[in-house]
Amino acid sequence: MYFLCKQTTATLFMAILVSGAAAQKKELTDEQFLKNNFKGITQPLPQVTRWIDDGRFLMMRDGKAQVVDARNGAEREATDADKKAPEAASKPSVYAKGSDLFIKRDNAEMQLTNDKEKEINPTMSPDGNYVAYTKKNDLYAVNIASGKETRLTSDGSELILNGYASWVYYEEILGRGSQHRSFWWSPDSKKIAFFRSDDSQVPVFTITDGMGQHGLVEQERYPKVGDPNPSVKVGIVSPDGGNTAWCDFNEKDDQYFGMPYWKPDGSSLLVQWMNRLQNNLIIYAVNPATGSKAEFYTETQKTWVSLDDNDRIYFLNNGKGFILISDATGWRHLYLHGMDGKRINAITSGKFTVTDINVVDEKAGVVYFTARSRENTARRDYYRVNLDGQKLQRLTFGEYSHNAINPSPANSYFITTYSNSTTPNQLALVSNKGKLIRVLGDAKGAEYDNYQLAKTELLRVKSEDGLYDLPMKVTWPLNMVPGKKYPVMISVYGGPDAGTCTDVFGLSGMQQWYAREGLIQVVMDHRASGHFGKEGVNYMYHNLGYWEMKDYGTMVKWLIANGSADPKKICITGFSYGGYMSCYALTYASDIFTHGMAGGSVTDWTFYDSHYTERYMGTPANNPEGYKSSSVLTHVDKYKGGGLQIVHGVIDDNVHLQNSLVLISKLQDAKKDFECMVYPGGRHGWGGNKGMHFQNLKTQFIYKYLLEKPVPKQMLK
């Protein structure tokens, strides 16, 4: 269990004495530090290749294939028959080669398209007879047997996007994993649902770079706070063409559409609709033939409902209902619904957060799911519960975070990979009743206890108002000296429901190097980071920045009072929302934070996109004070100078360079000192030599301001 940070000075000195005793152990070499070479200290876990059947699985241990009997954990060497995977059904696969599409079936290749235009997001129909894709912003399908290509829409252009998501939908609603795909096959392969986006009213943001004789200019349709969003229509069409059935919505309304769900029998399309204010979700059942709609499910919250929850519905195979995921109570839970949309009962409830549905055993009437642990929110556990909400049971064990669950085919067993901050990863076989059958592997090497390694631990600090036990993960310096003060480097992301503080094992060369150099390294999460459910996240409504700084400040004060932290060297670093946090800390909270490294930062929320920002902040018209207080620009006069590093990619199409440029201008006008670096060609992140340059830049900042000594040559890449 975690403990609350009421640690006494005597306890801290005891920890220092233990650290001193550990100094008699072997020290890591430069090669171990700089090349992450921990051979002998840690070791690879066995790799579970696949389940052979419900009672056996294939596992690679020390390069040898072993068959493990799940009933008792017994191992034997695998035979050739064991190693042979079952042959997959002969379903064609589709892939791009050059600008055209090809399929492969039974090792035979067939070309599907033959023109100069590139096909985007090729997606096979469920029955394997068609491939749908977009081309020049129109939706197409090709019949594999006949080779006939059918153009399903005809008005695609730079502004009209059929089956290809507009930027704000790709980034905030459908997700980057969609790769802009906004079309979905029906289960029976007879229909394709798609979004038609009209970007003509969305303002253009111009992105420029200086590379090349005439530079680079990009025009991006990017709706910022209060701007017109793309107008979206939802269409349903046959892959063989014909008339499109347009769903019965007014495309001119100020609204959003989430990812639709086909009912398993293809009888209707469930379309997620949301108002611009984002506090009312309505799911409509749409007739695929006519586009007529009927209300199927509705949810309203005082703050917001997340539309980007793309695992909201899980259909049961028996066709009698579905499981819906909702955080309307303040905690993310599972609910059983009938196929008419009406709720039957809650499956889970209480002050904990369900993260994933792993298995639904419909015959037994049991749901297996992963959740933030009810015992410690920085951990993950595996649970089972009856579909009627009875007999909730934790199946995983110990004070560990179980972050990878691999159930057997009939769900009689599962394999778990688990650790905590002080325990390297382990692999275990467990029954579906929660009985530990066998520990299969341990990443702790034979030399682990013989080396001097910095201590990492998960702590909890009581929030200033006494309501929350805030999580903080700390790697302490080696050989701490009583009475000495140590610089602090805090890594954050921040933001709503975006916590990064987890009770899992981590060992890296840089972590251990900086511990030897005397740096306190910290990851911390605030009350709205997701640890405390939607109930905690709701604190951020119309008030980004405030509660993060309030809670971060409380944890920093604890480190100063109890953890030998130097109040003159409190550094915070992060990228994107974490960059915003770093800039905000050095301005709004400059009485606590002395240094900051900020990358790709939002500096004023009027500069960011409509869907994300308005979800939390509303608009400047209905929340003027919130926008003012959350802006870094408002608090520039509080910045004490000299301690902020600002970094940005020049062609960042997510958080525009504009954010950093306006902050830089404000700092210059205020005659404040700061450091700045831009990366030409860099978007919302960059790699290659520029990525190494960025790492060196941060290293130099740490040595200059926190460690106050020259950078060792071997540290620079």
CA distance 592 to 522: 15
- How many C-beta neighbours within 10 Å does residue 625 have? 10
pLDDT for residue 640? 96
Tokens of residue 650, six digits = 């020049």
pLDDT for residue 88? 58
Average pLDDT over residues 83-89: 75
- Domain 9-37+452-715 and domain 99-310, same fold? Reply is no
The answer on pLDDT for 1 being more than 60 is no
pLDDT tens, 497-521?
999 999 999 999 999 999 999 999 9
Average pLDDT over residues 136-153: 96
The answer on pLDDT for 4 being more than 70 is no
Average pLDDT over residues 437-464: 97
Architecture (CATH level 2) of domain 99-310: 8 Propeller (2.140)
pLDDT for residue 86? 79
The answer on pLDDT for 13 being more than 90 is no
CA 633 to chain centre: 28
Average pLDDT over residues 310-314: 92
pLDDT tens, 157-203?
999 999 999 999 999 999 999 999 999 999 999 999 999 999 999 99
- What single string gives the DSSP state of each residue in 530-581? STTHHHHHGGGTT-TTHHHHHHHHHHHHHHHHHS-EEEEEEEEEEETHHHHH
pLDDT for residue 168? 97
pLDDT for residue 321? 97
pLDDT for residue 648? 98
- How many C-beta neighbours within 10 Å does residue 146 have? 8
State the pairing for strand pair 401-407/413-420. Answer: antiparallel
Confidence of residue 310 (pLDDT cuts 50, 70, 90): confident
Q: At what angle do helices 546-562 and 577-587 cross, to 10 degrees?
A: 70
CA 524 to chain centre: 17
Confidence of residue 14 (pLDDT cuts 50, 70, 90): very low
The answer on pLDDT for 320 being more than 80 is yes
The answer on pLDDT for 21 being more than 70 is no
Assign 3-class secondary structure to 343-385.
EEEECCCCCCCEEEEEEEECCCCEEEEEEECCCCCCCEEEEEE
Domain boundaries in the chain? 9-37+452-715, 99-310
pLDDT tens, 365-407?
999 999 999 989 999 999 999 999 999 999 999 999 999 999 9
User: What number does CATH give the domain 9-37+452-715?
Assistant: 3.40.50.1820
pLDDT tens, 456-488?
999 999 999 999 999 999 999 999 999 999 999
Average pLDDT over residues 40-65: 96
Confidence of residue 6 (pLDDT cuts 50, 70, 90): very low
CA-wise closest residue to 256 among 237, 226, 236, 280: 280
pLDDT for residue 10? 38
Look up residue 566 and give its amino acid: D
Confidence of residue 12 (pLDDT cuts 50, 70, 90): very low
The answer on pLDDT for 91 being more than 90 is no
Handedness of CA 417, 418, 421, 424 (dihedral sign): negative
CA distance 325 to 349: 11
pLDDT tens, 566-617?
999 999 999 999 999 999 999 999 999 999 999 999 999 999 999 999 999 9
pLDDT for residue 717? 79
CA-wise closest residue to 662 among 612, 616, 606, 701: 606
Phi, psi of 607 (to 5 degrees): -90, -5
pLDDT for residue 20? 47
Q: pTM for the full model?
A: 0.93
CA-only gyration radius of the chain, Å:
28
Average pLDDT over residues 657-686: 97
CA-wise closest residue to 46 among 405, 427, 403, 401: 427
Q: Mean of the per-residue pLDDT values for the chain?
A: 94
The answer on pLDDT for 92 being more than 90 is no
